[in-house]
Structure 1
Amino acid sequence: MHHQKMIVLGLVAIGKKYGFEIEEFIAQTDMTRWAEIGTSTIYKVLKDLEQDGALRGKKVAGEKGPARTEYALTAHGRRQLNTFILDALKSDRTARLDRLSGLFFAPLLPKSEGAAALERTVSQLNHACDALQDQLSSNKRDIIAESIIQFYIDLLDAEIRAIEKVYKIFK
């Protein structure tokens, strides 16, 4: 559930004020490929975050239809979002959706905190890559193990490259 809360808080933080805007953004970016969040989940999470005090909702008259709820991030919501992002970036498992979500929203972190979190993440990934390289060296006779280990090495390398691109935002 933290993963879904981070996504909704992050999308509100980047300017998506209404549930339908969040829904449209998720559809347009095909975010459901890596984020486990659907239409009904969006509205449930919005309500939960509002009840928790992370979002403030206010009814706004619709141009052609009924009033709709406009959401804004509260100070508590900003702190919660930062915590979710930092926790997601700490994930030590390869190709984790939470780490990808954290990377997606990392630019919302304060500059020094975001840069430090990304540096730690790259360090962890490099360490994991080194460990896999060592494993690969010792499994030369097993083609299946070698293929799987190489897949994870390639995946870690891709994650590192993506993080390095986002890191440039903090320079």
Structure 2
Amino acid sequence: MANQLTEMLKGTLEGIVLTVLAQRPAYGYEITAQLRDQGFSDLVEGTVYALLVRIEQRGFVDVEKVPSEKGPPRKVYSLNATGRDQLDEFWRTWSFLEERIDQLHRTYAPGED
């Protein structure tokens, strides 16, 4: 199951991270820690950082460098209007898929709820 979970997570991680950033601005480690607290315990920090680079390049977030007590400044990511549009699209797509998957499950696996 772990391999299947990893593959499914790859397809949804962008939306998950955008959802975290919709709550408040955050830096990479903070995002990773929050997701681990939510049960994504196998999430690798490097995966989140690579995703943050991609969503920054795609213009979904604004980035501010904030001084850190421990080392170089932190990049704090905040969701911008383009990112919010992308997040809205993610949730529309998720709802569509969720409905279809639930329907398939009820049809082909009745009684296994």
Scaled by the length of structure 2, what TM-score is found? 0.78
Q: Structure 1 runs of 4+ off > 4 angstroms? A: none
Please tell me the residue identity of whatever aligns with 1:93: I
Which has more helix, going by share of residues? 1
Q: What SS does the corresponding residue of 1:26 show, helix, strand or coil?
A: helix
* Contact 1:60/1:70, CA 8 A, preserved across alignment: yes
Please tell me the residue identity of whatever aligns with 1:150: G
Q: How many residues end up aligned between the 2 structures?
A: 102
1:26 to 35, 58, 74: 35
Q: Could you tell me how far apart the structure 1 residues matched to 2:105 and 2:71 are? A: 53
Which runs of 5 or more residues in structure 2 are unaligned? 1-9
After superposition, the CA RMSD in angstroms is 2.2
2:101 to 88, 93, 98: 93
Which has more strand, going by share of residues? 2
CA deviation after TM superposition for structure 1 residue 128, in Å: 6.6
CA deviation after TM superposition for structure 1 residue 16, in Å: 4.7
Which structure is richer in relative contact order (CA contacts within 8 A, separation 6 or more)? 2
* Partner deviation per Cα, 1:13-62 (whole Å, 9 max, x = no partner): 112511111111111121358xxx53211111101000000011121110
* Partner deviation per Cα, 1:59-105 (whole Å, 9 max, x = no partner): 111023221100011110000000011101110114xxxxxxxxxxx
2:22 matches 1:13: yes
* Partner deviation per Cα, 1:92-120 (whole Å, 9 max, x = no partner): 114xxxxxxxxxxxxxxxxxxxxxxxxxx
Please tell me the residue identity of whatever aligns with 1:39: E
Identity %: 29
Scaled by the length of structure 1, what TM-score is found? 0.53
* Contact 1:2/1:84, CA 8 A, preserved across alignment: no
The structure having more radius of gyration, on CA atoms, is 1
Q: What SS does the corresponding residue of 1:58 show, helix, strand or coil?
A: strand
1:57 to 57, 63, 71: 63
Note the 1:15-164 alignment, pairs <5 A: 15-32=24-41, 37-91=43-97, 92-94=100-102, 125=103, 129=106, 132=107, 148-151=109-112, 154=113
Which runs of 5 or more residues in structure 1 are unaligned? 95-124, 136-147, 155-171
